[in-house]
Amino acid sequence: TIVNTDMAKLGIIMNRRHFLGSAAAAAIVPCGVLAAPARYQLRAEPVIKQILPPGDGATRMLGFNGSMPGPELRVRRGQPLTVAVENGLEDGTAIHWHGIRLDNRMDGVPMLTQKTIPPKATHTYSFVPPDAGTFWYHSHYLSHEQVALGMMGPLIIEEDTPPDVDRDITVLISDWMMQEDGTLVGDFANRHSVAHGGYMGNYAKAFLSGQDVQIGDRVRFRLINAATNRIFPVTVGGVSGQIVALDGMALATPRPLSDLILAPAQRVDLIVDVTGRVTFDMITRQDPYLLAELVPVGTNANRTQAPVPPLPPHGLPQPAEPAQHLTLTMMGGAMGGRHGGDNIWAFNNVSDLPADPFGTFTQGETARITLVNDTSFAHGIHLHGHHFFEVGPDGALGDLRDTTLVSAGESRDILCVFDNPGKWLLHCHMLSHQVGGMKTWVSVA
């Protein structure tokens, strides 16, 4: 589903004139990489970051350990991970480990799995990541503000035997609404934008965790869309290679690299050979908008350009015959019909978290959920604690994802093996839509 999507239909083509600065100004900023062992300290705190080109003003944001994005956390699959989160903000917070099939108590969702972490307090999360792949962490409290302000970072779970590559580079993409002096425009809950595509930036950029590549290198790129609302259509230049994973889950058969579509929270892993200057461009109606680039510093003559093998297979169970078939209808927003909820958006006529779950599943059962988008906007629907299979229109089992993009007016079936006990959020990852009411939860017991 990441190829040949009708981008205009998704409403994601932006006009380049809406952007400040020049494309050439999109700089490469390394994320901090912490070393093993798997015990991390993350202090949530205000940071000042040069988002705009040097010479333009710096931006007051939020981040972790003085950095935005937060430091890259990296452990081996199956290696226990402990993260002590210290709240250096004036507000509460909670941290969610997006896409990890973890113990429900560690999921980081206020109201559902924990209390918010008050200012000055520390809350320790511990879990054992069962799957290798590209994940990320972000605030799950007032997330439409806190994520927009920068409270997010990469969470990389390495394979037992990582693939044979020369470099492994994270590409974290986001956008910000900026004034020319670098001031972030903080109108996050503006009802007009909540009712439309959501709070979106006028400036976008990708942060790379490394920049040292040579022509001929084989590189794994891990793209993460950390934006609150923007769907990024991305084209990668200066490489030839394969798509090897989606939302952290290995593809059984890698696919030739083509244009990519990343809904908010989605990830795409590539393994490619460098053939020239590497560019990550957002596709727009006009010129491509450069998000980041890598200028090769030499030539690697030792690498033989063998075909890219698949990553080690994911260990998730195949779905069984579904025991339940539920329908989740997205409703509301501008140009949408009436609905019974009392916020801007709703699922099945209910806005915001209901007292009762949308679905109740016996641990291990497979369920089919038909996602119906009865609105005029695209939505990226995310289920916590599980991955699910997208089902094609022909009924064929598609990709395994934790976030699926459903265009305006479309429907998609998903099949999920609900094997992780607990209370799990199910929401639109356009975070403006989430705060506008598009969220519910399921119970697995």
The contact set with ligand C2O (CB under 6 A) reads: 96, 98, 138, 140, 265, 382, 384, 425, 427, 429
Q: Of 138, 433, 437, 440, which one interacts with Cu ion (CB under 5 A)?
A: 433
Residue 153 to residue 135: CA distance in whole angstroms: 9
Residue numbers 356-415 binding Cu ion by CB under 5 A:
379
Residue of closest CB approach to ligand C2O: 98
Closest approach, Cβ 104 to Cu ion, in A, equals 24
Residue 343 to residue 325: CA distance in whole angstroms: 26
Per the listing, tokens 């002590």 go with 84
Choose among Cu ion, ligand C2O, none what residue 384 binds, the Cβ cut-off being 5 to 8 Å by kind. Answer: ligand C2O
Choose among Cu ion, ligand C2O, none what residue 196 binds, the Cβ cut-off being 5 to 8 Å by kind. Answer: none
Choose among Cu ion, ligand C2O, none what residue 433 binds, the Cβ cut-off being 5 to 8 Å by kind. Answer: Cu ion
Distance set, CA 126 to CA 39, 201, 377 (Å): 9, 34, 37
Closest approach, Cβ 268 to ligand C2O, in A, equals 16
Helix, strand and coil in the chain, % to nearest 5:
5, 45, 50
User: Between 26 and 226, whose beta carbon lies closer to ligand C2O?
Assistant: 226
Closest approach, Cβ 426 to ligand C2O, in A, equals 9
Structure tokens at 311: 């990553």
Closest approach, Cβ 339 to Cu ion, in A, equals 14
**301, burial (CB in 10 Å: exposed 0-12, middle 13-18, buried 19+):** exposed
Q: Does 194 bind Cu ion (CB under 5 A)?
A: no
User: Between 68 and 425, whose beta carbon lies closer to ligand C2O?
Assistant: 425
Please compute, for residue 271, the number of CA atoms within 13 A of its CA located in the half-sphere on the CB side.
21
User: Between 225 and 279, whose beta carbon lies closer to ligand C2O?
Assistant: 225
User: Between 292 and 381, whose beta carbon lies closer to ligand C2O?
Assistant: 381
Q: Of 236, 294, 430, 442, which one interacts with Cu ion (CB under 5 A)?
A: 430
User: Between 26 and 249, whose beta carbon lies closer to ligand C2O?
Assistant: 249
Closest approach, Cβ 430 to ligand C2O, in A, equals 11
Report the b/e string of 97-130 with b at 16+ CB within 10 A: bbbbbbbbebbbbbebbbebbeeeeebebebbbe
Angle formed at CA 197 by CA 134 and CA 374, multiple of 5 degrees: 95
Using CA of residue 369, residue 78, residue 213, residue 54, what is the dihedral sign?
A: positive
Residues found near Cu ion in the complex (CB under 5 A): 379, 428, 430, 433
